[in-house]
């Protein structure tokens, strides 16, 4: 899953936040509750890649 898919999923589920941390699956905050997504835990390199995919050099 790439960052765009995670963000789209978050919007479709009315999430206010998307949490990405190494060692745990991606999580979203919906109505104040943090929910783990049914995805494998993220490796540090995956979190790095997801974040840097949406950053630009400007």
Range of the domain at 22: 3-54
Question: What pLDDT, in 10s, does the model give residues 10-48?
Answer: 999 999 999 999 999 999 999 999 999 999 999 999 999
Its pTM stands at 0.87
- The answer to whether the CB of 16 falls within 8 A of the CB of 30 is yes
Residue 41: predicted pLDDT? 98
Element (H, E) at 3: helix 3-12
Q: CATH no. for residue 18?
A: 3.30.450.90
Is it the case that residue 58 has pLDDT exceeding 70?
no
Encoded tokens for 39: 């995805």
CA dihedral 27, 54, 5, 31 (to 10 degrees): 40
pLDDT grade for 57, boundaries at 50, 70 and 90: low
Domain count for the chain: 1
């Amino acid at each position: 899953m790439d960052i765009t898919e995670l963000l789209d999923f978050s919007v479709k589920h009315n999430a206010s936040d998307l949490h990405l941390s190494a060692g745990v699956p991606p999580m979203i905050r919906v109505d104040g509750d943090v929910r783990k997504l049914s995805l494998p835990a993220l490796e540090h390199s995956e979190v790095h890649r997801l974040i840097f995919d949406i950053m630009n050099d400007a």
